[in-house]
Structure 1
Amino acid sequence: MRGIFIGVGIALVVALLLTPHLIRFFVRQGLGQEIREELSSGHQKKRGTPVMGGIAILIAIWAGYLLSHLITGDAMTLSAMLVLFLTTALGLVGFLDDFIKLRNTRNLGLNKTSKLVGQTVAASTFGVVAVKVSAGDLLTPASANLSFVRDITVVSLGAVGFVVLANIIIAGWSNAVNLTDGLDGQAVGCSAMVLATYTIIGFWQFRNGCELANSPGCYQVRDPLDVALVAAVAMGACIGFLWWNAPPARIFMGDTGSLALGGLVAGLSIVTRTELLLLVIGGLFAAVLLSSLIQILVFRSTRRRVFRIAPFHHHFEMGGWAETTVLIRFWLLTAMCAMLGLGLFYSEWLTATADG
């Protein structure tokens, strides 16, 4: 537990202090965000705001994690390193996307194929190692079973099926967080709440792991405390960055940050055996992704639009809501989703222990 407090503090301070240096550097280099032409005049004023602030988030995550282990002397674990690998790999894909946008001075970066290839390579590598590699008699970081709060043993996918599922989960969540990053502070604030929830889940699994408490309802997961540390340092990094990203944002995290954070929450759900529960905890992200999919499908089939513009946070702006109104209400919705997910997680444990 001491390591979690140390890590989150370090990550928060690093993000808080590093971000303004990035702002000044990007301003000197003239690296500013391009804005979609169809967005409101309020968004057009943001043209030129420094982007790629996700670099600060990634550096803060790694600093918090590594320095926490250096100070406590605890060993780093396979599950945590896998999640960090996935986060960093998707952050690199996002960085390339942001860099191309800035170089070409337009709001189009990597093409869909290139981005999909990058996501697939990262997700497949993560999936294969997670389901196949273990040390001694330890569990593999992931299970080939589908999971809600714990493994659903009657739904076994096999190694190949799991890698396919991992690709779907990781691509889905990385794109969901990316689409949510349309208002100042929205994606990073929502991510902080989801990550706080996974900090609690990881610590609870550690306190009630089968290796520590061989009792009814114990969790058969690997490295839960170190996974909780990863979630905690990422939460600290998000909060530190949010100081500068809150409206009016002085810097955007760009795809560098949004793809990384999407991969991070997806990886956390897989190694904690809570893939389906993430649909509840991250319900706002899922709704934003769904709004874009609905818009595309309906428009292609009927040439009509369900929303004024997608993703649907812009729909509410077009309807007259102030950006900060949309932002705060979406934060509140995320908080409610996170609390509901945590409640489902805890109630399942109560039921399991009672039945045992």
Structure 2
Amino acid sequence: MRAILLGGGLSLLISLIGTRYAIRVLARRGYGQEIREDGPTSHHTKRGTPTMGGIVIILATVVGYFVAKLITGQTPSASALLLLFLFVGMGLVGFLDDFIKISRQRNLGLRSRAKMIGQTLVAVVFGLLAISPWLEDDRGQSPASRHLSFLRDLESWTIPTVLVIILIWVIVVGTSNGVNLTDGLDGLATGASAMVFAAYTVVNIWQWGQSCAQNAGPKCYEVRDPLDLAVVAAAITGACFGFLWWNASPAQIFMGDTGSLALGGGLAGLAILTRTELLLVILGGLFVLETLSVMLQVGYFKATKGKRLLRMAPIHHHFEMLGWEQVTVVIRFWIITGLCVAAGIGLFYAEWVAGAA
């Protein structure tokens, strides 16, 4: 438990202080955000705001985690290292995307095909390692399972290896792109992500307390390294809160694809490693809503030959076009995230209580 507090606290301080320094460095180098010409006109004033701030979130998380492990004298687990690999790997894909945007002074970075190849490569390597027998613990538990899961593994649904990798790919790519789509207003994706990562910290702590490795029973959780996953989740939560200080409206820095893809990858990794893949749909309900709004907009546009279902997608821009103030949209979407997190945690706990009764 001490490592969780240390990881979260250190990451918050590093992010809070490091982001202020990053703003000066990025501004001096001219690493500013390009803005969509077809977006709300109020966003045009943001052109030139330093971007790629996700670098700070990633560094704060990694440093916070390893320093916490060093102070407590604990050895990093296979699950935590895999999660950090996915988190940093997706961030690297986002960094390449951001760097191309900045260097070429355009709103489009990596071509969609190249971006997908990068995301796929990271997701597949993560998936292969996560189900590898080489990383099994002394109880034969690999970091990820071969079963579909909601609040725990659905034992009756054993999935072939190829389909497991495809499922992991879908979850990683879908979640990372969902957070990326949400990152369109000051502080929106950062605040929402912090809440969902905090929820996963709670889930991991509960799974550790009811772990089959410690308290074998009919309702125990077969999750490898839940306490160490909680340290990573707490570190990312702290890093997000530290960054939000500077990213809240009016934002002095943006996380860019570097941060949004990393955060999405981190959420996907936690869902997979905690055996709560379908629960992520509830906890990350806002990201699902944002993704669906884009899919529906594109589908409706093609089906009706040019008509729009929303004034603009993702859906947060639709409300801006209706006249809502940016801060109003962000706060109300944070409330939606809070409700989704409360519902997800409530279902998670209620399932255990019902089974333990």
TM-score bracket relative to the smaller structure: over 0.9
Shift of 1:40: 1.8
TM-superposed CA distance for 1:164, in Å, is 0.4
TM-score (ref. length: structure 1): 0.98
Pairs within 5 Å for 1:292-307: 292-302=294-304, 303-307=306-310
| Distance in structure 2 (CA, Å) of the matches to 1:79 and 1:317 | 41
Task: Within 5 Å, give how 1:189-268 maps onto structure 2.
Answer: 189-268=191-270
Letter matched to residue 27 of structure 2: V
The yes-or-no answer on 1:37 pairing with 2:37 is yes
* 1:94-173 correspondence runs (5 A): 94-132=94-132, 133-173=135-175
Structure 2 residue 319 is the aligned partner of structure 1 residue 308: no
1:321-332 mapped onto 2 (5 Å cutoff): 321-332=324-335
Q: Structure 1 residue 318: deviation in Å?
A: 0.2
Partners of 1:138 and 1:222 within 8 A in 2: no
SS at match of 1:259: helix
Cα distance per residue 1:148-169 (max 9 Å; x no partner): 0000112221211110000000
Aligned letter for 2:197?
Answer: L
Report the Cα offset of residue 211 of structure 1.
Answer: 1.1
After TM superposition, what 4+ stretches of structure 1 lie above 2 angstroms from structure 2?
135-138
Deviation at 1:352, TM superposition (A): 1.6
1:7 is matched with which residue?
A: 7
Q: For 1:79 and 1:202, how far apart are their aligned partners in 2?
A: 12
Q: 2:338 aligns with which of 335, 340, 352?
A: 335
Deviation of 1:75 after TM superposition, in Å, equals 1.3
- Alpha-carbon displacement from aligned partner over 1:61-110 (angstroms, at most 9, x marks no partner): 00110000000001110011101000000000000000000011010000
What CA distance in whole angstroms lies between the structure 1 residues aligned with 2:157 and 2:300?
Answer: 32
* Contact map agreement 1:11 1:60 (CA 8 A) in 2: yes
Q: CA offsets, 1:224-276, max 9 Å, x none? A: 00001110000000000000000000000000000000000000000000000
User: Do the aligned residues in 2 keep the contact of 1:4 with 1:232 (CA within 8 Å)?
Assistant: yes
> CA-to-partner distance for each residue in 1:19-75, whole Å, 9 max, x for gaps?
111110111111100000111221000000000000000000001100000000011
Q: Distance in 2 between matches of 1:194 and 1:163?
A: 24
Q: Which amino acid aligns with 2:274?
A: T
- Quote how far apart the aligned CAs of 1:131 are: 1.0
Return the alpha-carbon distance in structure 2 between the equivalents of residues 159 and 271 of structure 1. Answer: 16
Structure 2 unpaired stretches of 5+: none
- Partner amino acid for 1:20? R
Amino acid at match of 1:116: M
Preserved contact between residue 119 and residue 171 of structure 1 (Cα < 8 Å): yes
3-state DSSP class of the match of 2:46? coil
How many residue pairs get aligned? The number is 354
Question: What secondary structure sits across from 1:45 in the alignment?
Answer: helix
3-state SS of paired residue (2:131): helix
Q: What amino acid is the match of 2:349?
A: Y
The residue type paired with residue 296 of structure 2 is I
> Partners in 2 of 1:335 and 1:136 — Cα distance?
38
AA partner of residue 214 (structure 1): A
Q: Distance in 2 between matches of 1:43 and 1:98?
A: 18
Cα deviation, residue 215, structure 1: 2.4
Q: Distance in 2 between matches of 1:160 and 1:347?
A: 33
Q: Secondary structure at the match of 2:235?
A: helix
Residue aligning to 2:67: 67
1:277 aligns with 2:274: no
TM-superposed CA distance for 1:136, in Å, is 3.7
Return the letter of the residue paired with 1:56: V
Paired with 1:109 and 1:342, the residues of 2 have a C-alpha distance of: 37
